[in-house]
Structure 1
Amino acid sequence: MNLSDETHNAAQPDVVNTTSQTQETLQCNREHPHGHVYAIGYVKPYFATIDLEKQYEAAAEFTKQSTTSFDQIFNYVTSPNEQPNLRIRPFLYLAQQATWVFTINNVDTYTLYPRTLTQLNALIQASTKNEVILVGLVERISVAGSHGSEALPSVLVEHLIDTVDGTKSPPKKTREGALAQLKPNIGRSNLERASNYLVTHFDQINTSQTQNEIIDNVNAVHFQHVSLHDDRSIIEVILSNPNDTRFACNIDVTNAYPFVSSKLAPFAKSS
């Protein structure tokens, strides 16, 4: 499910007003090159100055919302008396000036940069404490006023997917073994992205054409690179059950969105 709020503020442009951030973003440190990110975690905003914090607290008091209700405050809508048909979000500017941080396993991991109002709306919606999948591009960027003593690796947001609605389902028997040990990671290397994709899409991967589970219990997971095509990055995932019966599938992690390039099927090791 795409976390995109299409209710636009009539008084706001379609591109996020982060001019100063954009200028500084271009002054990037090439210590780490561009790379795809496919990570699982939580989104939360921080305010880099006391002045912004006080403005946000005043907005919370005005809207009669808790200071943790970021979406309710940023999305608060009002209409000017002289223009009753015009709907504006007076506190949206606070979301634009906030430092958006992506947290993995309770550790602040990335600073997020939306490039459009739709992406900013997605960040606002994601701040409701739901776990999400982050799809984006990462590079090391030094940004003045960023959260923390050092700038976190910065991700240009492409897409946020709500795992509650779109992918992850309640734990099944298969999640009690080896799959439960696959914790969310930073999602930068091919193996990391394949692992995150397996965790979030396992129920779809493990469903046959007759809608039955292919493997009913997983006690071991193994990842390995596959050299099939020079221009593709393929990770083979091998799943074993307690009887040592193995199944495998290929996950293509070449581009921003991983996908299963060969379906889960009985695994026969080549001689």
Structure 2
Amino acid sequence: MQKNATTLVAPRSAPVVQFSELEAPFGYVYAIGQLSANFSSRDVEKEYLQLLTPADMQVPTEPQRLYNVLSRKENIFLAREMAWVLQVENVATYFLKPRSQVELEEMIEAIKPDDPTQIEYDVVIGVQEPAYAGEEAGLPGAMVNRLFHFTARSFIDSVPPPALITQQPAGPAKDQSMATFRLLVSNIFNDMLQLAANTGDTDETRALNYVSINYPDIYTLRWSQTSSLTVDTLAFRGVDVQHSKLSGTRRIVDVIFRYENPSGVESRFYTSVDVTGQFPFLVTKLQPYFER
């Protein structure tokens, strides 16, 4: 099905070129979870055991041993035979297939054990496929076109602090403000991940998942709405997601954030996300929301 054809102005001697966005046969995926590599069959597991070296056997954990074996270039053939599964909230959600060796190598790196004290996350962007017919029978498939990996701590530390903090003079007060800010980001991030505990295969969930990890303004909003460093004036109450009235030839979704002050008065802010294609993008920046 052809949608939203865009005509480019070409020289008179050249034919008119048209680009269009084609709908994926089974839809798109933008999901947040944890990637795991599993043996797709008994012979694949046996082959893995034969590839273990004496040095591998000295490694104390099985996840590290598995990563060591799969990450060696000569063992890329085995990585192709593994059953790669994305789990959301510890539930197997998608059987993943890499589009090319580039994505396969990214998947291998994603299972490399990080800091054991940190929760790790993987974001999968791709195209839905029919259910896999192997040992994971009935599990929906997804062709991975992009994958990135992060820990909760690295994400929280990556959110830029607001000017209210950065403009403070160096010292204990600024350090305390930064610690308070990071704690706030951590709390909202955990709330957003609970909301993002979904399969990421609908317009609404893809928009929500995209905003959760790509739009830091949602984590600094409470600071931007007050001149106080205590930021206790607004409590985060949740998120509503709905199709925007701006939707026409494109699919646009409003992600609405609800806050409440100590008096019980609710305020709402929203951002719009275009989810027409495989890669969502922002249409409007975060701003006050008024019922239309």
TM-score (normalizing by structure 1): 0.72
Residue 68 (structure 1) aligned to one of 63, 80, 97 = 63
- Contact (CA 8 Å) 2:95, 2:132: kept in 1 or not? no
- 1 or 2, which has the higher helix percentage? 2
Choose between structure 1 and 2 for higher RCO, CA contacts under 8 A separated by at least 6 residues. Answer: 1
- Contact (CA 8 Å) 2:41, 2:135: kept in 1 or not? no
RMSD across aligned C-alpha pairs, in angstroms?
A: 2.8
- Contact (CA 8 Å) 2:156, 2:185: kept in 1 or not? no
Cα distance in 1, alignment partners of residues 238 and 104 from structure 2 = 39
Residue 47 (structure 2) aligned to one of 49, 55, 58 = 55
Cα distance in 2, alignment partners of residues 37 and 187 from structure 1 = 5
Q: 1:73 to 1:128 in 2, by over 3 A?
A: same
- Contact (CA 8 Å) 1:112, 1:154: kept in 2 or not? yes
**Structure 1 position 34 matched with structure 2 position 1:** no
Cα distance in 1, alignment partners of residues 89 and 50 from structure 2 = 31
1:38-63 per-position Cα deviation (integer Å, ceiling 9, x unaligned): 00011111112222212212323444
Cα distance in 2, alignment partners of residues 142 and 181 from structure 1 = 27
Tell me which residue corresponds to 1:135: 125
- Contact (CA 8 Å) 2:217, 2:286: kept in 1 or not? no
Tell me which residue corresponds to 2:273: 251
Give the secondary-structure state (helix, strand or coil) at the position aligned to 1:52.
helix
**Structure 1 position 147 matched with structure 2 position 165:** no
How much does 1:268 deviate? 2.2
How much does 1:204 deviate? 3.9
Q: 1:103 to 1:117 in 2, by over 3 A?
A: same
How much does 1:201 deviate? 2.9
Q: 1:254 to 1:168 in 2, by over 3 A?
A: farther
- Contact (CA 8 Å) 1:57, 1:67: kept in 2 or not? no
Gap regions ≥5 residues in structure 2: 1-23, 114-119, 158-181, 227-233
- Contact (CA 8 Å) 2:196, 2:205: kept in 1 or not? no
**Structure 1 position 173 matched with structure 2 position 216:** no
- Contact (CA 8 Å) 1:217, 1:241: kept in 2 or not? yes
Give the secondary-structure state (helix, strand or coil) at the position aligned to 2:78.
helix
Cα distance in 1, alignment partners of residues 84 and 193 from structure 2 = 28
**Structure 1 position 112 matched with structure 2 position 103:** no
TM-score (normalizing by structure 2): 0.67
Cα distance in 2, alignment partners of residues 163 and 213 from structure 1 = 26
Q: 1:263 to 1:167 in 2, by over 3 A?
A: farther
Give the secondary-structure state (helix, strand or coil) at the position aligned to 2:106.
helix
Counterpart residue type for residue 72 of structure 1? N
Give the secondary-structure state (helix, strand or coil) at the position aligned to 1:168.
helix
Tell me which residue corresponds to 1:240: 258
Counterpart residue type for residue 68 of structure 1? P
Counterpart residue type for residue 269 of structure 1? E
Cα distance in 1, alignment partners of residues 238 and 138 from structure 2 = 37
Give the % identical residues: 28
Q: 1:246 to 1:141 in 2, by over 3 A?
A: closer
- Contact (CA 8 Å) 1:197, 1:258: kept in 2 or not? yes
How much does 1:125 deviate? 0.7
- Contact (CA 8 Å) 1:194, 1:235: kept in 2 or not? yes
Query: What is the aligned length?
Result: 222
Cα distance in 1, alignment partners of residues 244 and 103 from structure 2 = 34
Cα distance in 1, alignment partners of residues 77 and 62 from structure 2 = 16
Residue 197 (structure 1) aligned to one of 210, 222, 229 = 210
> Which range moved further: 43-52 or 55-64?
55-64
Counterpart residue type for residue 75 of structure 1? S
Counterpart residue type for residue 284 of structure 2? S
Cα distance in 2, alignment partners of residues 225 and 112 from structure 1 = 28
1:55-105 per-position Cα deviation (integer Å, ceiling 9, x unaligned): 2123234442443123321123xxxxxxxxxxxx22222101111111111
Q: 1:163 to 1:234 in 2, by over 3 A?
A: farther
Q: Which runs of 4+ in 1 moved over 6 A?
A: none
Tell me which residue corresponds to 2:144: 157
Q: 1:214 to 1:203 in 2, by over 3 A?
A: farther
- Contact (CA 8 Å) 1:220, 1:239: kept in 2 or not? yes
